[in-house]
Amino acid sequence: MVKIGLERIVEERPAWLRDRRLGLLCHQASVTRDGQHARIILQQCFGKELRLLFSPQHGLFGDKQANMISSTDFIDKVTGLPVISLYGPRLRPEAEHLSEIEVLLIDLQDVGCRVYTYIWTMLLAMEACAQTGVEVVILDRPNPLGFQMEGPILEEGLFSFVGLAQLPLRHGLTMGELARYFLAKKKLALSLRIIEMEGWQGEFFPETGLPWIMPSPNMPLWETALVYPGQVLLEGTNLSEGRGTTRPFEIFGAPYLSPDRVKLSLLEIPGVRWYELAFTPTFDKWEGKLCYGFRLEVYRPYLYEPVFTSLVLLKAIIETHEEFSWRRPPYEFEWQQMPFDIIVGAQDVRAILQEGSKEDLKNLCQKGVREFQEEIESFRIYNR
């Protein structure tokens, strides 16, 4: 059985946390195995020493949609604590907030993909705490996609709020491992502790026995997280990635898409099935318009390569549909760079999709990954 960091700190109540002023960065997926939320159970444990709550993108309750839809500061009715938004009015804690605490606890469920912004909120919070002398404690949780990695590795010229360090698109690390890596990579003068999990050895989320709580409004299922590192690329195009449906990222398409033109190119991709369908998004791209496309079903998760799969899909659509186009800025507080470029993390990918081969795409997904695995080996906490 996997015991997460939140459960361990509640059970052990370490002496070094006693009589210290605490802040907590969390969201609605910050729960124990039996569904107790971190802000409530930690207030029960530490009483008035829990002073502030911080929320990432989508807000404390995961009710805000994506791409620069801000959440505001407010008072949590349950705990009576101030909630400071770190998405919209600011992207990192301000000195006035950190002056109220001595320790910042971070308990966020990530989904294992570089562009999912919670890891960057953690990094910006770490940098702010390093400047103010606040200790950071990561309550670690599983990477729901295990240890597997897929590139591209993010190029420095494409840094943005969906990528502030050179990680592969599917990064294969937990929040605790990432925090250790960021501490060294950014050379932060920071007191950092990781409350490690017990019993996790890199298995996919369904094997942990933990409940899947939506960490964001368009991440309803673990299966969503599984396809996300590839299907998030569609956010940089005029294809619907399924927002406004009940299976975002698994469902995708557009009014102009003809499934017959692309399905033969998809049949040889291992681990997935493609089901033709039509759908009408209730919001976001093509809202209220009938779209034609597919539902992507992964039937062999350990064989499935999400980034490669979605790149092959995009190549097939680009080659057969002149109506296809790239989304224009802004995207996630970036006003100049093309959204697809900052999502995929490399400048030459659009050219490869238009002119290259499947082998070129496979090489792109593998380029630099082995070197990155060697680089982060000393920051690993868990081994399969």
Whether 354 is in a domain gets the answer: yes
Cβ 111 vs Cβ 174: under 8 Å:
no
In the chain, how many domains are there?
Answer: 2
- Which pLDDT belongs to residue 111? 98
* Tally of CA atoms within 13 A in the half-sphere of 313 that contains its CB: 31
* Average pLDDT by stretches of 10, the chain with 384 residues: 96 94 98 97 97 97 93 97 96 97 98 98 98 98 98 96 98 98 98 98 96 97 98 98 98 98 92 97 98 98 97 98 97 96 97 95 96 97 85
Cβ 53 vs Cβ 82: under 8 Å:
yes
Residue 97 belongs to domain spanning: 5-213+374-379
Whether 384 is in a domain gets the answer: no
Regarding whether 175 and 93 lie in a shared domain, the answer is yes
Encoded tokens for 208: 């942990």
Whether 85 is in a domain gets the answer: yes
- Which pLDDT belongs to residue 383? 82
CA angle 66, 25, 123 (to 5 degrees): 75
Regarding whether 89 and 107 lie in a shared domain, the answer is yes
Regarding whether 361 and 240 lie in a shared domain, the answer is yes
Regarding whether 226 and 192 lie in a shared domain, the answer is no
CATH number at residue 359: 3.90.1150.140
Q: Which residue, among 178, 176, 134, has the nearest Cα to 23 in the 3D structure?
A: 134
173 vs 111, 252, 294, CA distance in Å?
10, 27, 30
What whole-number distance in Å separates Cα of residue 134 and Cα of residue 127?
Answer: 10
382 vs 9, 40, 140, 244, CA distance in Å?
18, 28, 11, 37
Environment class of 48 (CB within 10 Å of its CB; exposed 0-12, middle 13-18, buried 19+)? exposed
H or E segment and range at residue 137: strand 135-139
What whole-number distance in Å separates Cα of residue 383 and Cα of residue 262?
Answer: 40
Regarding whether 226 and 206 lie in a shared domain, the answer is no
Whether 105 is in a domain gets the answer: yes
What whole-number distance in Å separates Cα of residue 36 and Cα of residue 104?
Answer: 20
What whole-number distance in Å separates Cα of residue 22 and Cα of residue 49?
Answer: 6
Regarding whether 229 and 205 lie in a shared domain, the answer is no
CATH number at residue 21: 3.40.50.12170
Whether 245 is in a domain gets the answer: yes
Encoded tokens for 240: 């619907």
- Which pLDDT belongs to residue 384? 63
Neighbours of 140 (CB within 10 A): 24
What whole-number distance in Å separates Cα of residue 85 and Cα of residue 122?
Answer: 13
pTM score: 0.97
Regarding whether 208 and 244 lie in a shared domain, the answer is no
Whether 163 is in a domain gets the answer: yes
Whether 301 is in a domain gets the answer: yes
Cβ 103 vs Cβ 17: under 8 Å:
yes
Regarding whether 83 and 50 lie in a shared domain, the answer is yes
Regarding whether 273 and 137 lie in a shared domain, the answer is no
Regarding whether 247 and 193 lie in a shared domain, the answer is no
Regarding whether 46 and 118 lie in a shared domain, the answer is yes
Regarding whether 203 and 226 lie in a shared domain, the answer is no
What whole-number distance in Å separates Cα of residue 68 and Cα of residue 163?
Answer: 15
Give the contacts of 34 (CB within 8 A, at least 6 positions apart): none
Q: Which residue has the tokens 């409350």?
A: 195
